[in-house]
Each structure stands twice: as C-alpha cells, then as structure tokens.
Amino acid sequence: MSDADVVRRAYAALATRDMDTLEELFAWDAVWVLPGSSAISGTHAGWPAIRDEFVALLGPLSGGSFHAELLDVAVGERYIVAIQRTTGDFKGRTLDVTSCQLVRMEHGLIREVSGLYSADTLAKVEAFWV
C-alpha cells in the first residue's frame, strides 16, 4: 500500500469512527499537532493521546456532525499534504472550512500530522470547537 493510500484509508476510517483501523495506520509514538486553543488543539503525542484527546472527542464535541472529507492528496518525497473539507453543525455553531494536514510517513505508518490553517480558517475552527 502506498503512503497516499494509507492517508486515504485513514480518512475513510475516521469517517466511520473505525478506531481499530486508525490504530493500524498510526505509529504507536506518532504525534498530531493542532494549532490554537480549542478543546481539540495541542500536541497529541502517541496513539493513545491521539485517540483519546483528539479523535474520540470529535463526535461528542460536534454532536456527531463532524466530517472530514478528503479532497485531494499531494505526495512529495518526504511529506504528504492532505487537503480536506471539514464540516460540522452543532448547538448553533457551523463549521465549513477547507484546510490541509501535513503528514509525515515512516515505514508505511503515519508518524506525524500537523494541521495547517490560515488565520481566518483557524478562527472558524476554534469558534466551532469551543
């Protein structure tokens, strides 16, 4: 499976909340960094932290409305850029933004993910994930 296929499979697993598949795709000591100060922001180091402090919160904090649609994948020699449309609608808050996740792969596993947002997009993300 190519690195791009791993990223595509991770988005598919995230869409169905398939934590077992996600666990297979991430290095045990992977890191996911989300900028800002929202409930899901921060540096989530290790699969348990990524699972419990980030992925597991997406459903409850969005009333189950969170969806990250993978729009495109750009593959370089060292990184993959996942371009996504993120949507949600909960308690009068609406999220509809396009952003990027910078993904570093190692030995066929996701080693590091960093959320990349413009200032305007980050403000919208933070307003949703209060």
Q: Which of 101, 95, 113, 112 is nearest to 38 (CA)?
A: 95
The rounded distance, in Å, linking the Cα atoms of 125 and 123 is: 5
- Residue 120's pLDDT is what? 96
- Residue 2's pLDDT is what? 94
- Residue 22's pLDDT is what? 97
Tens-digit pLDDT profile for residues 101-112: 999 999 999 999
The rounded distance, in Å, linking the Cα atoms of 121 and 130 is: 15
> Max CA-CA distance within the chain?
42
Tens-digit pLDDT profile for residues 23-62: 999 999 999 999 999 999 999 999 999 999 999 999 999 9
Mapped onto helix, strand or coil, the DSSP state of residue 117 is coil
Please state the pTM of the whole predicted model.
Answer: 0.93
The rounded distance, in Å, linking the Cα atoms of 80 and 105 is: 8
Give the number of C-alpha atoms closer than 13 A to the C-alpha of residue 4, restricted to the C-beta side: 9
- Residue 26's pLDDT is what? 98
Tens-digit pLDDT profile for residues 59-118: 999 999 999 999 999 999 889 999 999 999 999 999 999 999 999 999 999 999 999 999
- Residue 130's pLDDT is what? 84
113-87-67-73 Cα dihedral, nearest 10 degrees: -50
